[in-house]
A and B are shown apart, each in its own frame.
Chain A
Amino acid sequence: MPNTKTKKTTGSSNGAGVLSQPNTQLEKLFMDTLKDIYWAEKQLTKALPKMQKAATTEELKDAFEDHLAQTEEHVTRLEKAFELLGKKAQAKKCDAMEGLIKEAESIIEETEEGSMTRDAGLIIAAQKVEHYEIASYGGLAQLAKTMGHEDVKELLGQTLSEEKGADELLTEIAENDINWQAEQEGAEDKENNEEE
C-alpha cells in the first residue's frame, strides 16, 4: 500500500465501543502496552522489598514501603482495566523494566551498605522506574481516551497521578536530606584521610 508519509484526515468522531471490534491495530497496541505495564508493575512488587531492605535511611525505607502498597494497588487496578475491556489480565515481558530493575540491583551491589550514597543511588534508580511508568500510563490514558473508554482512562489516570506523586516525593527526599548527607559522607572520608 503506497500510503507512506502522508497525512491523514481526521474524520468524524468514532466514540465508544471500539474495543467491541476485536483486533483493530490500535486496540492491539493498547493491549500490548497494557500487558507490558502489567508485567512491569508485577516485577516492581518483587523488586521494591529488596530496595527497601537495602535502603540506609528510615525515610527511604518508609517511602519504598508505601510505594509497594501503592504498586500492589496499581496491579489490581490494571486487572480491573483488563476486565472492563473484556480481556483476561495478561503480562508481557518488558525489556525496559527488566533493565531498570537490573540497574537498581547493580546500584545496590556497587554502593556500600549503610551509606547515604546508596540511598542517593536508590532514589535515582526508583525515579527512573517511576518515569518509565509515567510515560506508559500517560500514553495508555491518552489511547484509552481516544478510543472512547472513559472508565479505563479514569483508572489509568489515577495511577498516573500516583506515580507522579511518588516521583516528586523521591525528589523531595533527595533534595532535603539524603543528597546532602551523602555529600557530607564524602567530606568525612576525606577528613579521615587527611587526619592520618
Chain B
Amino acid sequence: MKQTKRSSAENKNGKQQADNNKQASNSNGSERHESLLEKFFIDQLKDIYYAEQQLVKALPEMQKACTTEELEDAFGNHLKQTERHVKRLERVFQAIGKKAEGKKCEAMDGLIKEARSIISETKEGSMTRDAALIIAAQKVEHYEIATYGGLVQLAITMNLDRPAEILDKTLQEEEETDALLTEIAEANINIDADQENNYSWSEKEETTMEYEGSANSF
C-alpha cells in the first residue's frame, strides 16, 4: 500500500521522493513514513549513541591519567553514569521502534583526541594535568548537553513523551557533572596547579607529603 503511494508520488516529485526511498532503505527498508524531522531526530540519536560509547572507552584512560583522587573518583562515577546513558539511549531506540545504532560523530572524535593530546602534553603527577583534564571533560559534557538539549526539544515537538523524559534525565546528569567539574577546579585543583609554578620538581615532593582536609568538596 504505502509503497504504491510512494511510487505514485515519485512521478510528481521525483528527486525528493527518490531521496526518501534511499533514506528508508538505508535504515532497514522496513521503516516507512519517516518524516524529515524524525529522520533528523534518529540521526542525532545515533550520533550521541556513538559519542557515549566512545566516552565509555575514553574515561578509563582519563581516570588513569589523573593526578588527584578527587578527579579520579569523579571520572569513575561519570563512567558508571555514562554506561547508564548508553542503556537509556537503547531504551529510547526501543521506544520508537528502531534498532540501536551508532553513527560516527566527528565532533566527539575530535573532543576525545583533544583529551588524549592533553594527557601527552602535560606532566604525569602534575596538578596542571588535572586542570587540563577538567577542561577537556567539560568540553565533552557541553557537547552532550547541547545534543541532549536538542533531542529533548525535538522529542517534545514530536510528542514522544517517554523518550523526552528519558533523554531529559540524562541531560540533567550531564549538567550536574559539568557543575561538579567546575566545583572541583575552582575549589582546589586550579589553585594548586598555579602553586605548582613556585616549586621546582624536587621541592614538590615535600609538599605532597602534607595532607590537608581542604579537598573534601567531593
Contact = CB atoms under 8 A, between A and B. Distances in A.
Interface string A123-160: 11001101110111011001100110000000000000
Contacts of A183: 35, 37, 157-158
Interface of B is mostly: helix
B168 interface: no
Given A117-B36, A179-B154, A3 B205 contact: yes
A9 B158 contact: no
Interface residues of B, number: 83
Interface stretch (B81-89, B92-100, B110-118): B110-118
B146 A124 contact: yes
Given A136-B135, A187-B35, A196 B153 contact: no
A87 to B, nearest CB: 17
A112 B35 CA distance: 12
B122 interface: yes
Given A183-B158, A190-B33, A96 B105 contact: no
Interface residues of A, number: 73
User: A-B pairs with the 9 shortest C-beta distances?
Assistant: A186-B35, A99-B110, A99-B106, A95-B110, A131-B142, A124-B150, A139-B135, A96-B110, A99-B107
28 contacts: A2-B205, A8-B208, A9-B210, A10-B191, A11-B195, A14-B198, A18-B197, A95-B109, A95-B111, A95-B113, A95-B114, A99-B111, A112-B19, A115-B36, A124-B44, A132-B139, A132-B142, A132-B143, A135-B139, A135-B142, A139-B135, A147-B194, A171-B153, A179-B37, A182-B36, A185-B37, A196-B8, A196-B9
Interface of A: 1-11, 14, 18, 21, 24-29, 32-33, 36, 94-100, 102-103, 110-112, 115-117, 120-121, 123-124, 127-128, 130-132, 134-136, 138-139, 142-143, 146-147, 167, 171, 174-175, 179-180, 182-183, 185-187, 189-190, 192-194, 196
